[in-house]
Structures are given as C-alpha cells and as structure tokens.
Amino acid sequence: MAALKKMMNSKLIAIILFFTMAFAQLSQDARMLALNGAYTTVARGYQCVGVNPANLAYSNGFSMNLLTFNMGVGNNTFSLDVINNLDGADLENPNADTYFPKEDLSYVFDDDGIIITTDFALPLPILNFSFLNYAFTTSPKIYTKFGIPSGFVDLLFYGNEIGRDLSIDLPLDIMAVQETGLTYAFSQNELTFGITAKYVLGYFYSTFESVDSSYFRTDSTAFTGQGSFLMKQAIGGNGFGIDVGMLSKELDNGIQFGASVTNLFGSLKWTQDHFLRAAIDETIQASVPEEYFLRQNEFYYYHFKIDSLNAVNLSSKPMDEMIFRNGYKVIKVADLTPFNLTETDTLVVTIPDNGGYLIPSSEITSTTLDSLSSEPLRTNYPSIFRLGISKRYEEGVIIMADLSTGFSDDLGGYDNWRMAFATEITHYPIITLRTGVAFGGAYGRSMSLGAGFKIGPVYLDLGLAYRNGLSANSMKGFDFSITTSIR
C-alpha cells in the first residue's frame, strides 16, 4: 500500500509539473514586472495606462509599443523544495530515512486543494501608444484557473477515513477579453490627474460551480457520495470600466507620490444577441455534440450519486444501481408557474438559499430562451487600488514602494493587501538595472529582477519574478516579460 501511494504521489507531481509548464501568466510590461508592481509613480507613456493614468501628464512626446510578450504560471502548492521533500517520501513508517509526517501536509495543501492559475497578455503592436497627455491602448488578455479538489488530495495522501466527508468541488474559471482604453491626463496646481475610459470586449467565459454540497464519504460498510455541478459558458460580452489616478509633482528632495483605482465599476454582460456570438455560433454548434452546445444564458447541469458501493454489491448488483448519473441543459428561473412545473418534478433543481430554480431547456427555443433570461450572465472585472511613493537620487537611483489591494479574488484579482518595494538604477548610459520584492496579494512573497537597454529611440526591457517565494527553490511559479518600445 505504501509503495502504491508513493507511485501515485510521483504521478501527481509529474502531472502538476506538466500543466505548470504548459501555460502562462499576466503582467503589464517588463519594467513593471522587474519592479514587482511598484509602478504607481514611475510608469510613463502608454505604459502608465492600467496602473496610474495621471502619470501621462509627465510623459514627454511620443511613446509606442513595438512588441510585448508576457508569460508565467503559478500554483498554490508545489515548489522545488516541496517536490524534493515529497518525492520518494515514506508517509507511513516514522523510522524510515525518507519519513515525511502526514501532519506536515497541512502546511503544503490548503482547503482549496491544488489550484493552478494562468494569465496571458499581448498588448497589440503599434496600437498601444501615447502622445503628450493622450493615450490609446488595446490588449487581449486570458485568465484561467483550474485544479484538483481538496477531497481528492486528502484521499490520495490520507486514504479513506471512516465517516469523513471529502470535498469534491471542482475549481475552473476561464475568461478571454480584449481591453481597449482612451486616456487623458492634466495638471492642476501641484498635482496631476488622469482618467481612462475602457471598453472590454468579452470573447469567452466559462466556470464550473457546485449547486449544492458535493462530497465523497467512506463509512463502515460502503462508499457514498453525491455532487451537483453547473457549467456556465458564454461567448460575446460587453463591459466598461474606468481608471482614475492622481500624481504629485516631484518635490525638491526627489520624492513623488500617487494613487489610483483601476477598473472602477468594471463588469461584463454576456448576451445572446452579441455580434461575436452571432458570427461564430454556427461554427461552434457544428464542432461540439448537441448535448453540450450551450446557448447564451443556458447552463449544463450534472448530478451524480454514489449509494452503497462496496465489494459485495459490486459482485451482485449492476453498476447503475449504485452509481447514478444525469446531465442535461438548464436555464435559471425565479418562478415555476409559467412552465407548469413544480418543485417535485424530477428534473427541476431547487437552488439553495432562495436562489431560484433550474429547469430543463432543451425544448425551449432560442427566441423564448432569450426573452426568459431576465438576468444575463454577468462577471465582475477585477479592480485594484494602488498607493505609491518614490524617491529619486542624483546618483541615478530610484527607490519606490507601493501598497495595493483588490476588492475580490475573482479572475486573477486579490482582496488582501500587497506591499512592494523596488529599486531602479539608471546610472549607466546603456543599461538600467531593476529589482523588487513584494509581500501579500495573490502570490504572497515575491522576488523580481530585470534590466533595460536603450538603443537610440528603442528600449528593450526584460523582467522575471518569482511567485510565492523568494528563491528558485521556494517559488511556486514565475512570470517572464519582454517589452520593446519607443519612448
């Protein structure tokens, strides 16, 4: 049994490593990444959009993106140190040389199970630019979150504990958008102010939610469990948001401070009649099985139940008498009366906490479906508040600090405080050196470094940052960015 668990542990780690290397993360540009996000007062040109639009008032002349590529990945569990400790570890025998106490696993795995988050951003070349105190920017962004439920992790490492419910909530979020903004900044006395009006085009959104308690349980005689899940999917959405910012003039001692809020009031509304949905609807319908093709505001409901699954019943009963599965397309409604349905009907699902009902929608036409959907699918767009300060020294050194927080942890945001400190050395004529450290936020402890090169009017910036760690061995992910621009 110990050998089997050791083999399963190694396979799990290999799977996580495979997925970790296959996807990537988001940063605004390479300079911001190298400074670990301590960017509120020092971003300039088009690169200040999305951070602090007030900085645009201090931008000289013209700036333009030639090419920016951002990649990275992160998880909440595995680092090289953790992998080295678990690889080949004996979890059962305390006398073994490779013994790893099971109690210490609580420091490795949290209640969310294993979560992998990825982001990707590619600001479009040439179409991101600024001139004097105006800027236009546009950038496609992709966010994904997926993982393994905590119940499966507990089952793998702890086995079947009698009477304990194992959570099997499946984490999954995917969203692809294109964010386009028009920015203006102006000076007023000793301060500058800026505002960005954003239009967000939603390409695709999908999430997997538990409708009710989902669990797997082992009792003294058999396995039992149940799960009810709702897959939401949307194609084509519109959203709007506003960035506002303030920046002080640089004082005689080189100190400058600023503040901003990005994506204020930001949200997306996904609608059936969106032009993007209409353009690709037929292609999607031809590409997926009819059972899983979801119209706008239509969801897929899946329910399973495990009853009295044990060795005796496996040898004497058909499988479908112990494991029940059912899946069908549904729509959410507040009242069953117009559909001649009641709560006792087999396919009607009551959403907890007076959340309404899920009813089968296969027989409902698209026209009727659209008219019935009084609550189109809406998603929040992460908003961040930033407060920053920097000091410029005559020796060609800038030090900066940023304090930031979000208002939710949805779609790559964070709702805790983050503190970042950074240094930029501009003393050398050709190369600029940067480094930073941060604590809190979505990725906990983080170390970053990078460099910038100036070749005539062209700037080449590189940035690398660790996630959830201050060294290569302790990090649980990384970000890399390369930016070429004219400034």
Answer with the residue of higher pLDDT: 321 or 118.
Answer: 118
- Domain containing 103 equals 2-271+376-486
In a domain, 326, yes or no: no
pLDDT > 70 in the chain, percent: 93
Answer with the residue of higher pLDDT: 229 or 157.
Answer: 229
Asked if residue 80 lies in contact with residue 472, where contact means CB atoms within 8 angstroms, the answer is yes
In a domain, 300, yes or no: no
Q: How far apart are CA 1 and CA 392, in angstroms?
A: 62
Q: Is the per-residue pLDDT at 16 higher than 60?
A: no
CB crowding 310-344: b at 16 or more within 10 Å, else e = eeebeeeeeeeebeeeeeebbbbbeebeebebeee
Asked if residue 276 lies in contact with residue 406, where contact means CB atoms within 8 angstroms, the answer is no
In a domain, 153, yes or no: yes
Q: What is the average pLDDT across 148-172?
A: 78
pLDDT at residue 295 in the model? 79
CATH code assigned at 129:
2.40.160
Answer with the residue of higher pLDDT: 371 or 115.
Answer: 115
Give me the residue label for tokens 């069953």: 336
pLDDT by residue (tens digit) across 262-282? 999 888 888 777 888 878 777
Please measure the distance between the N-terminal and C-terminal CA atoms of the chain and give it in whole angstroms. 63
pLDDT at residue 24 in the model? 36
**408, two tokens:** 């939710």
In a domain, 313, yes or no: no
Residue 75 burial (CB count, 10 A): 20
Q: Which amino acid is at 116?
A: I
pTM reported for the whole predicted model: 0.82
Asked if residue 205 lies in contact with residue 284, where contact means CB atoms within 8 angstroms, the answer is no
| Total length of the chain | 487
pLDDT at residue 243 in the model? 96
Give me the residue label for tokens 């009907």: 345
Answer with the residue of higher pLDDT: 296 or 189.
Answer: 189
Q: Is the per-residue pLDDT at 150 higher than 90?
A: no
Q: What is the average pLDDT across 426-433?
A: 92
User: Which residue(s) pair with 380 in the sheet?
Assistant: 267
Q: How far apart are CA 299 and CA 316, in angstroms?
A: 37
Q: Is the per-residue pLDDT at 465 higher than 90?
A: yes
In a domain, 306, yes or no: no
- In this prediction, residue 153 has a pLDDT band, given cuts at 50, 70 and 90, of confident
pLDDT by residue (tens digit) across 38-48? 999 999 999 99
Q: What is the average pLDDT across 158-175?
A: 79
Q: Is the per-residue pLDDT at 398 higher than 90?
A: yes
Q: How far apart are CA 437 and CA 478, in angstroms?
A: 13
Provide the total of helices (H) and of strands (E) in the chain, helices listed first.
Answer: 7, 22
Give the range among 133-137, 142-146, 190-194, 251-255 with minimum mean pLDDT.
142-146
pLDDT at residue 18 in the model? 36
Answer with the residue of higher pLDDT: 168 or 396.
Answer: 396
Distant-in-sequence contacts of 162-168, Cβ < 8 A, 24+ apart:
162/218, 162/219, 162/220, 163/217, 163/218, 163/219, 164/217, 164/218, 165/215, 165/216, 165/217, 166/215, 166/216, 166/217, 167/111, 167/113, 167/214, 167/215, 168/214, 168/215, 168/216, 168/225, 168/227
pLDDT at residue 412 in the model? 65
Q: What is the average pLDDT across 94-98?
A: 82
| Alpha-helical regions (H) of 249-310 | 275-287
Give the range among 193-202, 255-264, 292-301 with minimum mean pLDDT.
292-301
pLDDT by residue (tens digit) across 438-458? 999 888 899 999 999 999 899
Number of domains into which the chain is organized: 1
Handedness of CA 17, 36, 407, 186 (dihedral sign): negative
In a domain, 304, yes or no: no
User: Which residue(s) pair with 302 in the sheet?
Assistant: 229, 327
Give all strands (DSSP E) within 149-295, no chain letters.
Answer: 165-167, 172-188, 191-210, 215-218, 223-248, 255-270
| Mean pLDDT of all residues belonging to the chain | 85
- In this prediction, residue 368 has a pLDDT band, given cuts at 50, 70 and 90, of confident
